[in-house]
Amino acid sequence: MKGSKDIHPRIVELFDQLQDGRLSRREFIRYAALLGLSAAAASQMIGLPWPKSLSAADIRRGGVIRVATSVQKVTHPAQFSWVEPTNILRQVAEYLTYTDKNNITHPYLLENWKASDDLKTWILNLRKGIKFNNGDEFTADDVFFTIKQWLNKDVGSSILGMMGAYLDPNGIEKSDAHQITLHLKKPEIAVPEHLFHYPAMILNHRTFEGDFIKAPHGTGPYTLDVYKESERAVLKRRSDYWQKGADGKPLPYMDGMEFFDMGDEMSPRIAALRAGEIDMIDLATTGGTAAFQALKDYRGVQVKPIGTAQARVMRMRVDLKPWDDNRVRMALKLCQHREKILGLAYFGQGLLAHDFHVAPVHPEYCDKQIPEYNPQKAKQLLKEAGYPNGLRVNLALGSEWTDVVRYGEILKQDAAPAGFNVVLKTMPTSQYWEKWTEVDLGVTPWTHRPLGTMVLNLAYVNDADGNPVAWNETNWADPEFSRLLNEANGTLDVDERRKIFCQLEQIQWERGSIGIAWWQNNWQIVTRRVQDSQPHPTGYMLFNQTWLSEG
**Positions in the binding site for another protein (CB under 8 A):** 267, 270-271, 289-290, 293-294, 337, 340, 343-344, 392, 399-400, 402, 405-406, 408-410, 412-413, 421, 423-428, 431
Cβ 391 vs Cβ 322: under 8 Å: yes
Residues 6+ apart with CB under 8 A from 202: 93, 94, 95, 96, 109, 138, 142, 143, 146, 218, 219
Q: Which amino acid appears at position 237 of this protein?
A: R
Query: What would you measure as the largest C-alpha separation in the chain, in angstroms?
Result: 74
Q: Provide, rounded to whole angstroms, the least separation between the CB of residue 406 and another protein.
A: 6
Smaller CB separation from another protein, 131 or 425: 425
Smaller CB separation from another protein, 294 or 458: 294
Q: Provide, rounded to whole angstroms, the least separation between the CB of residue 295 and another protein.
A: 8
Residues 6+ apart with CB under 8 A from 487: 500
Smaller CB separation from another protein, 144 or 347: 347
Q: What are phi and psi of 350, to 5 degrees?
A: 170, -160
d(CA 154, CA 166): 19
d(CA 474, CA 538): 24
Selection from 158, 161, 155, 184 nearest residue 172 by Cα: 184
Smaller CB separation from another protein, 115 or 411: 411
Q: Provide, rounded to whole angstroms, the least separation between the CB of residue 413 and another protein.
A: 5
Q: Provide, rounded to whole angstroms, the least separation between the CB of residue 260 and another protein.
A: 19
Supply the DSSP string of 107-162, one letter for each residue: ESSEEEEEE-TTS-EEEEEEPSS-B-TTSPBP-HHHHHHHHHHHH-TTT--HHHHH
Q: Provide, rounded to whole angstroms, the least separation between the CB of residue 7 and another protein.
A: 51
Smaller CB separation from another protein, 413 or 549: 413
Smaller CB separation from another protein, 53 or 402: 402
Smaller CB separation from another protein, 13 or 339: 339
Helices (H), 180-310: 191-194, 267-274, 289-295
Smaller CB separation from another protein, 295 or 311: 295
Helix axes 452-459, 479-489, angle to 10 degrees: 140
Smaller CB separation from another protein, 44 or 402: 402
d(CA 95, CA 142): 12
Length of the chain: 551
Q: Provide, rounded to whole angstroms, the least separation between the CB of residue 334 and another protein.
A: 18
Q: How far is CA 488 from the centre of its chain?
A: 19
Smaller CB separation from another protein, 161 or 268: 268
Smaller CB separation from another protein, 175 or 267: 267
Supply the DSSP string of 44-68, one letter for each residue: HHTTPPPPPPPPGGG-----EEEEE
Smaller CB separation from another protein, 165 or 272: 272
Cβ 337 vs Cβ 373: under 8 Å: yes
CA distances from 267 to 77, 145, 272, 289, 293 (A): 30, 43, 9, 12, 11
Q: Provide, rounded to whole angstroms, the least separation between the CB of residue 498 and another protein.
A: 34
Q: Provide, rounded to whole angstroms, the least separation between the CB of residue 297 and another protein.
A: 9
d(CA 421, CA 443): 16
What angle is formed at CA 207 by the lines to CA 203 and CA 211, rounded to 5 degrees? 70
21 CB-contact burial (10 Å; exposed 0-12 / middle 13-18 / buried 19+): exposed
Q: Provide, rounded to whole angstroms, the least separation between the CB of residue 389 and another protein.
A: 13
Q: Provide, rounded to whole angstroms, the least separation between the CB of residue 517 and another protein.
A: 13
CA distances from 318 to 321, 361, 437, 508 (A): 8, 28, 12, 13
Q: Provide, rounded to whole angstroms, the least separation between the CB of residue 193 and another protein.
A: 34
Q: Provide, rounded to whole angstroms, the least separation between the CB of residue 259 and another protein.
A: 23
